[in-house]
Structure 1
Amino acid sequence: MAAPLSRRDIDFLLYEWLDVPALTERERFADHSRETFDGIMDVAQDMAVKLFAPHNKKGDQNQPYVGDDGKVVLIDEVKPALDEFAKAGLISCGFDESLGGIALPMVVTRAAMAWFQAANPGSSSYPFLTVGNANLIAAHGTQEQIDTWVKPMLEGRYFGTMCLSEPDVGSSLADITTKAIPAGDGTYSVSGTKMWISGGDHELTENIVHLVLAKAPGGGPGVKGISLFIVPKMLDGERNGVSLVGLNHKMGNRGTTNTLLEFDGATGYLVGEEHLGLSYMFHMMNEARIGVGFLATSIGYAGYLASLEYAKVRTQGRNPASKDPASAPIPIIEHADVKRMLLAQKAYVEGALALGLYSSKLVDEEQTAGADAAKRAHILLEVLTPIAKAWPSQWCLEANSLAIQVHGGYGYTTEFDVEQYYRDNRLNPIHEGTNGIQGLDLLGRKVVMNGGEGLAVLAETIGATIESARAAGGAAADYAEQLAGALGRLQATTATLWKGLDPAVALANSAAYLEAAGHVVIAWIWLEQLLAVGDNVGDFYDGKRAAARYFYRFELPKTGPQFDLLDSLDRTTLDTDPAWL
């Protein structure tokens, strides 16, 4: 079975661009080396191809269901694959040795996980959520909570979830109604209904550790009244007042159970302090947002590689210069418009993967660099997180659409994988905060935080790349001038949007702002990759040059009209009466 990602590209990004082995000079990562990182990649690639990819289509065609005994039924292949995943240490590898891990850098664990996300989005979601859950409790829980819940999760005996939304409350968490009443013994009685809970019920593990947002007495209205609780599915061998109401049947990503859960006086354990639950949950949510960006990227990448292989072997039509109708048809990859669609996919997925790995390395910088560098990495990560979630969710989905187009009519059939890739990826602009919410976060919070510090740090970082590209000369210098102009527009437009005006006007245009800012960031990421390519020769490096050229010729110019629209302080959406729609 063909690999769903490019190992050559991952190696380029980790070693020729990001210089990840340099992290081993820091105390936390001192026991590692490039050999360690290569070993993890080898294991991840091998397991993803052999254990996860083979049942991806079967999981899609045989959705989870509730059996007569009330238990969730999954296809047989899921559990052994996940058991091997855990046995290989892939759940725990990024955690401290005290928790059973080996303290791998985040950038390496993310790269490893991308193999599984590309091979099988449904099955990979269970450990993905578990790692985020365990990270949150390890950061904010007590030692007893870590021993009781985190360690079994890292061993693969328990899996974890995040329970935020409710049937009548999507992203507006201030309006949740789930309650947590002190039980008098240090625990809480949690009651309410949670909706859209991925991995919310199954029989894959001994237990499921739910992280539940609920309101405890005395917290007042709004998000400041929200607390966070550990609510296990099983407690002392018995069901803990957590019942499965039903499964949601999805358009794609069907291999992951998606549930409606009822908490009826379930025993819960407070994480941290009362009424600070949302701040704790953002630890997992921000991690999950970058993870969703990786998921979108990985599915987009799998579709790109599938359509690339198809285009090489599918023959149709002839070269426009050929006048002989009896001549043999040519592979469609030789047609200019097919090359356009493949170049677009390549520019999207390789740019998105690079952004995800860059953002992941910022986590390592934040944890291990000196004080000033760590602070700067934190600020830059804050600004990039909404883009790292939303941009791949939009444009790698577009890559999947183009993969179907390359296949022609065959791409629209279930016999070929690309139609499933599109359906699987369509979820990613929605969950972990819709792309619209990411736009509000970027424009309403991140670029203006601390008096504009967020945007300033981003601009300084991009500016340093521009100067390096100018010094390099050639195409890189030409792109540097184009990027400098786009960056200047981004800074000026941000100032225009917030120049003493009603915030509603600015935020009404936050979606356009997110798209434009995202394209500027990906253009910067492509210039970074081009500088890493340098004077190297070969098809791989020429492919990078072609993708960078495509992005600067076809994509970055799209930001001009977007900035024009934003500068006009358009009120079209604000002034539209709902009765007109």
Structure 2
Amino acid sequence: MSAAAGSAPAPEPARTPGWARSLALLPLTPGWGALCARDPDLDLATAAAVLEEGARFAAGRIAPLNAPSDRIGCTLEGGRVRTPPGFADVYAEMGRDGWLGIDLPANLGGQGLPLVLHAAASVGFDGAAMAFMMASGSSRAAAHMLVQVAPDLAAEWVPRLAAGDWAATICISEPDAGSDVGRIRTRAERGPDGCWRVTGTKCWISFGDHDMAGRIGHCLLARTGPGIGTRGLSLFLVADQLDDGRRNRISVTRLEEKMGLHGSPTCVMAFDSAEAILLGEEGRGLPQLFAMIERMRLQTACQGLGIAETALDIARAYAETRLQGGDPAAPPLPILRHVDVRRQLLAIAAPTEALRALILELATMDDPALAGFLLPLAKNFGAETAFAAASGAMQVLGGAGYTREWPVEQLLRDSRVIAIYEGTTGMQAQDFLLRRLLRDRGAALAAFRARALPEIARADPAARSTAETVIARFIALSERLLADDAGAERAADGYLRAGWHAVCAWMACRLVSAEDADLNAAGRFLLHVLPARMAEAENLCTLPDWI
């Protein structure tokens, strides 16, 4: 036997499935214990049953839609959108089986389960076919928003959304008003009959029209007052079909041709005096819509984890079976035996499992200020983790990964948009620094310290030492920016990345405390690389003046 072959480690056991890794982290997530204490029917056995059954549904019903829908895409026929074969049937099945309403109130047709079980289950659904799942994300977020903003209307709409009979969209962007919501031109006027009517053009509307549900409600921002900026914007529900069965004055003028998510129709939509229902208080549209936006931002983190988890599992399975290298006189080795391949897999796994831990933390958190501090990190680095994981998996697969014979190239294309919708990286960075740190003068930062540091103090000594150092550097950076916020916009991207590294240090201590070997290894790898990455983020906070 050659020295290379003789020194190689024995093949590692197969990875535990993603849902089981989430289950292993729940007891280490403080908010989970609080949830179980409040609900005697909630425990790990319940969570395991939900997540395992969700994984079966994802693998058996959703995943088969993914590759065909990427090839076939959506079409606009006679003014209506036709989705790929199977979409309508599986969407209806999701409604019947309760997957569309996992965390919606039981008295409105949901399952009444906690958000954390929805988040953990949806990771598998999004990893199976993210394009298909785009419809359910906006419909569920709309249901939660209606419960909060328009309870009377929620009684009619939420049960139908949970059942999959109806669907909903978030309808904000316009050709001249993307992230700059204050430039929205769509107007709503109330006629002599008391009915509101909306006129304008909206774009980038995912599942703005489709054949998966009998009625679609657009949660739409329109200008009702004379104010400029976001003042004067109100929130409306604009249904494509009116109560008497007539079609509303809404049309799809174009489907965007995109890099990925071919199975998800992205619509340009025209509203021509379309009848609308005012939601909540006139002129308070944007704050009210945040009940929907924040749910969708957490969902983007789940999408990112789903893509990353799928890419990692594909790469690991390939590395276990692809034979290359070793002594030419001996049989070739599985490429998992090569240290550089194991390094690549750990580089994918480390941020993926930190993201998993952060999503579970956020989904069980009862501190709104801290949740607001962490949400931009989950959203943005859910996106970056997904894209990097797909790219890393492609590297592990080599030339095979670049071909359509393998699903990795689709994962790469589909995941790229996560960093764009629901707020680009730059928007998340501005939010994280200007709003979450400077505007509240460090209150959320103090909450982060109070939450993270006691848990880190209980960690393994080596893990604790590294994590405390990384977080101390983040706190020092934060305090410098609080003391002198001149040029804060210049520091925003670096500060966002520093925040992610600090949260990864916290989550890494949780990972190394887990009994699961994959989680433990991911945590140890993170702690190995975080000091250098924090240094890079600190450097990005001091960009030269000529930029």
Q: For the superposition of Structure 1 and Structure 2, which TM-score range results when normalised by the shorter chain?
A: over 0.9
When the two structures are aligned, how many residues end up with a matched partner?
Answer: 533
1:491 paired residue number: 475
Report 1:373-388 matches (<5 A).
Answer: 377-388=367-378
Q: 1:19 to 1:195 in 2, by over 3 A?
A: closer
Offset of residue 75 of structure 1: 1.8
Cα distance between partner residues in 2 of 1:501 and 1:24: 42
2:465 pairs with one of 481, 494, 517: 481
Cα distance between partner residues in 1 of 2:468 and 2:46: 38
| 8 Å contact kept, 2:28–2:510 | no
One-letter amino acid of the counterpart of residue 114, structure 1: V
| 8 Å contact kept, 2:196–2:276 | yes
Cα distance between partner residues in 2 of 1:565 and 1:413: 36
TM-score, normalization by structure 1: 0.88
2:526 paired residue number: 551
Residue by residue over 1:168-221, the C-alpha shift from the partner in whole angstroms, topping out at 9 and shown as x without a partner, is 211000011010111244431101111100110111111101000111034x00
Q: What residue ranges of structure 1 are gaps of 5+ in the alignment? A: 319-323, 367-376, 470-475, 577-581
1:374 paired residue number: none
2:59 pairs with one of 43, 49, 56: 49
Q: 1:518 to 1:501 in 2, by over 3 A?
A: closer
One-letter amino acid of the counterpart of residue 142, structure 2: N
1:308 aligns with 2:281: no
2:11 paired residue number: none
1:7 aligns with 2:19: yes
For the aligned residue pairs, the C-alpha RMSD in angstroms reads 1.8
Q: What residue ranges of structure 2 are gaps of 5+ in the alignment? A: 1-13
Residue by residue over 1:306-336, the C-alpha shift from the partner in whole angstroms, topping out at 9 and shown as x without a partner, is 0100011001111xxxxx4322211111111
One-letter amino acid of the counterpart of residue 563, structure 1: E
Residue by residue over 1:49-69, the C-alpha shift from the partner in whole angstroms, topping out at 9 and shown as x without a partner, is 1111012000111110112x2
1:347 pairs with one of 345, 350, 362: 350
One-letter amino acid of the counterpart of residue 225, structure 2: P
One-letter amino acid of the counterpart of residue 528, structure 1: R
1:74 paired residue number: 83
1:325 aligns with 2:307: no
Residue by residue over 1:107-154, the C-alpha shift from the partner in whole angstroms, topping out at 9 and shown as x without a partner, is 0111111111111101111111110011001111141x1133222112
1:187 paired residue number: 195
Paired residue secondary structure (1:118) = helix
1:233 pairs with one of 217, 233, 240: 240
2:229 pairs with one of 219, 222, 227: 222
| 8 Å contact kept, 1:4–1:301 | no
2:98 pairs with one of 89, 103, 107: 89
Cα distance between partner residues in 2 of 1:452 and 1:422: 37
| 8 Å contact kept, 2:225–2:283 | no
1:515 pairs with one of 497, 507, 514: 497
Residue by residue over 1:70-116, the C-alpha shift from the partner in whole angstroms, topping out at 9 and shown as x without a partner, is 22122221111111100011122312222122310100111111111
TM-score, normalization by structure 2: 0.94
One-letter amino acid of the counterpart of residue 245, structure 1: T
Report 1:251-270 matches (<5 A).
Answer: 251-270=259-278
Q: 1:137 to 1:3 in 2, by over 3 A?
A: farther
Residue by residue over 1:390-421, the C-alpha shift from the partner in whole angstroms, topping out at 9 and shown as x without a partner, is 11211231111000000000000000011111
2:298 paired residue number: 290
1:528 aligns with 2:538: no
| 8 Å contact kept, 1:229–1:269 | yes
| 8 Å contact kept, 1:45–1:115 | yes
Higher RCO (Cα < 8 Å, 6 or more apart): 2
Cα distance between partner residues in 2 of 1:170 and 1:278: 14
Paired residue secondary structure (1:75) = coil
1:579 paired residue number: none
Offset of residue 501 of structure 1: 4.2
1:213 pairs with one of 217, 221, 232: 221
1:402 paired residue number: 392
2:6 paired residue number: none
1:127 paired residue number: 136
Percent of paired sites with the same residue: 31
| 8 Å contact kept, 2:237–2:278 | yes
2:453 paired residue number: 463
1:178 pairs with one of 178, 183, 186: 186
Q: 1:508 to 1:276 in 2, by over 3 A?
A: same
Q: 1:420 to 1:556 in 2, by over 3 A?
A: farther
Offset of residue 361 of structure 1: 0.8
Moved more, 486-495 or 46-55: 486-495
Paired residue secondary structure (2:268) = strand
Offset of residue 17 of structure 1: 4.5
Cα distance between partner residues in 2 of 1:107 and 1:266: 37
Paired residue secondary structure (1:329) = coil
Cα distance between partner residues in 2 of 1:484 and 1:51: 44
Cα distance between partner residues in 2 of 1:255 and 1:112: 21
2:171 pairs with one of 159, 163, 171: 163
Cα distance between partner residues in 1 of 2:46 and 2:398: 42
Q: 1:183 to 1:151 in 2, by over 3 A?
A: farther
Q: 1:384 to 1:501 in 2, by over 3 A?
A: closer
One-letter amino acid of the counterpart of residue 238, structure 2: V
Cα distance between partner residues in 1 of 2:386 and 2:101: 29
1:58 aligns with 2:68: yes
Cα distance between partner residues in 2 of 1:19 and 1:195: 38
One-letter amino acid of the counterpart of residue 108, structure 1: L
2:10 paired residue number: none
Cα distance between partner residues in 2 of 1:41 and 1:482: 33
1:415 paired residue number: 405
Offset of residue 571 of structure 1: 3.7
1:432 paired residue number: 422
One-letter amino acid of the counterpart of residue 335, structure 2: I
1:20 aligns with 2:20: no
Q: 1:70 to 1:280 in 2, by over 3 A?
A: same
